[in-house]
Chain A
Amino acid sequence: RKEVEQDPGPFNVPEGATVAFNCTYSNSASQSFFWYRQDCRKEPKLLMSVYSSGNEDGRFTAQLNRASQYISLLIRDSKLSDSATYLCVVYPRGNQFYFGTGTSLTVIP
């Protein structure tokens, strides 16, 4: 079983739509969770960390459900500039990070 699993999509949504991505992880002892954004042919960049209490940054909301071992990312009022691949990242322990394969989002005018 993979450490981290994501729905690869693609998600094609109109501008202004709300879209949600989910990610599941296998190691119940995982410590830290992140969402990264990767634009085409660029390096991944941190979008937001995910905290147990949930956290919000503008139009973006991240949630963690430890009991079910999944994290989610909600994007409200989608913009064209949100088009990218979103990577779920889990830090189980030690020094290794585990990445999901990414979910592709295209926001359509």
Chain B
Amino acid sequence: NAGVTQTPKFQVLKTGQSMTLQCAQDMNHNSMYWYRQDPGMGLRLIYYSASEGTTDKGEVPNGYNVSRLNKREFSLRLESAAPSQTSVYFCASTKNRAGGSNEQFFGPGTRLTVL
């Protein structure tokens, strides 16, 4: 049981390049999330997927797209990277039980630098 996995762990891009961050969970969770974490800003939600087949914008969606490929996988795409997207990106998942504990489990993060 690997929990939440993310690839790659590190990435350096040039302005204008594109890339996809991959995330997968093996806990049969319904909901998945993409966050970015910047110094002094805390974790900010980019996009989330409440269940397979649905995606919704979070607080900072501009410049990103997502795909919930199946229940396990949720990818984040940067179509044209900008220096402002330099950040640490975390994927997370939760069972999303109504009335129950909704602990989020996080992947190890992707450290992205855009030059």
| Interchain CB contact under 8 A, B107 and A97 | no
Per the CB 8 Å criterion, the residue count for chain A at the interface is 21
| Interchain CB contact under 8 A, A46 and B103 | yes
CB distance from A46 to the nearest CB of B (A): 5
Total A-B Cβ pairs within 8 A: 48
Chain A residues with CB below 8 A from B62, complex form: none
Which residue, B42, B50, B56, has most C-beta atoms of chain A within 10 A? B42
A71 within 8 A of B: no
How far is A42 from B109 in the complex, measured between Cα atoms in Å?
7
| Interchain CB contact under 8 A, A96 and B90 | no
Name A's B-contacting residues (CB within 8 A): 8, 32, 34, 41-46, 49, 87, 89, 91, 94-97, 99-102
Name B's A-contacting residues (CB within 8 A): 31, 33, 35, 40-45, 48, 50, 56, 58, 90, 94, 96, 101-104, 106-109
